[in-house]
Amino acid sequence: MEKYAWRARVKEGCMEEYIRRHDNLPDDMKEMFREAGICNYTIWNVGHELFGYYECKYGAEHAAKVQNESPAVKKWDIYMSDILIMEKDPVTGAQPLMKKVFDFEE
């Protein structure tokens, strides 16, 4: 299973709102994750920085394609734009691919 990681920033004073919105994630976003094969998705925070990690059942390219074509993601991006600063890859529409520099698996 391919792994994927991303980073972003929450605007000053907006972390509680960011968490609240994720606590109430819309069903169409959950369905999009399933269609994209996204699982074991977690988001971590320190200060204003976010680090997200998920695994892709069907590969990162498939996950990026589904997200890029999803009306739910477009709606979510607009909804989050007032509190979130996130860079997007102009080709895939997903967060820029982070280079893995270490992996420990047993």
**Residues classed as catalytic:** 22
Rg of the chain's alpha carbons, rounded to an integer? 14
Residue pair 96/87 in contact by the 8 Å Cβ criterion: yes
E strands present in 1-60: 2-10, 38-46, 49-56
Cα separation of the two ends of the chain: 15
